[in-house]
Amino acid sequence: MNRIFAALTVALLSAVGSAAHAQAPRDTPWSVEFGIGWDNSISGNINSSGIGTLNGQAVVVTKNSYDDVYGTGLHVRFGGGYLIDDITEVRATFTLQSLDADLTAMGDIGSSRLYGQYDDYQSFGLDVGLRRYVDLKPGLRAYGEGTIGLAFIDETDIELVAPGANFTGNVTDFYDQTAAFTLGGNAGVVLQMSRSVDVFGQLGVRWVSGMSAIDNLEGTGLDTINDKSGRWTMPFLTGVRVRF
């Protein structure tokens, strides 16, 4: 994924950079925008696998990806930018990610299946970056951008249940509230609707570093199943931009 991200960023910036002559100067350098869409998980595990004991019984936990637990969720962005020249824009954007958790098969405990109910995934962050534009035809522009920032992720707990082993209602603190590091790359198109209003659509990739693990499972043999929780997503957004 690191190689894909690097190649995408270099290709986008090279492509838009080669067409720097295409856009005439604009008299409205400031802009604000709002976008909403889907947050598609493409890699990363909310928990790893492990073998240990719970409630005096042997337990096997199998790994679960973010896609297994959360699937596709809501992705919202709002922020603004400033054109420092005809095709280069400095941007600051707030990003909200919200994903609902499904009941998930976690493995086995004794002779029973083990299930887990995670808290919903909630993240709010600030990304800053650089965007480069290229004109495709009058009123239609393409762009590529790279971003870096921080995402503040809510505390995540999990409730473990094994009906066949009479093991229910064990709520485990899994991840603490976290300030995670983010990297992103996006490509999109902007259609001018009027002198000051545009609509846009974009597709990108975004990496969020792992959450802060809580060692509530220490001594069970399962204390490492929440050590690696970084994730890659592919957000797709549409929205409106206002220039002023």
Q: Give the span between the Cα atoms of 87 and 222, in whole angstroms.
A: 52
pLDDT band of residue 21 (cuts 50, 70, 90) is very low
**Confidence band (pLDDT; 50, 70, 90) for 168?**
confident
Radius of gyration of the chain (CA): 22
Residues 123-151 pLDDT 10s: 999 999 999 999 999 999 999 999 999 99
Nearest CA-CA partner of 211 in 76, 97, 130, 51: 97
Tokens of 176: 């603490």
Tokens of 114: 């083990």
Q: Taking CA 70 as the corner, what is the angle to CA 69 and CA 76, rounded to the nearest 5 degrees?
A: 165
pLDDT at position 76? 96
Contact partners, residue 2, CB within 8 Å, separation at least 6: none
Domains, the chain, ranges and CATH?
2-243 (2.40.160.20)
Q: How far apart are CA 158 and CA 17, in angstroms?
A: 47
What is the band of 5 on the pLDDT scale with cuts at 50, 70, 90? very low
Percentage of the chain exceeding pLDDT 90 = 73
182 DSSP β-pair partners: 149, 208
DSSP state of 47: E
Residue 65: band (very low, low, confident or very high) from pLDDT cuts 50, 70, 90: very high
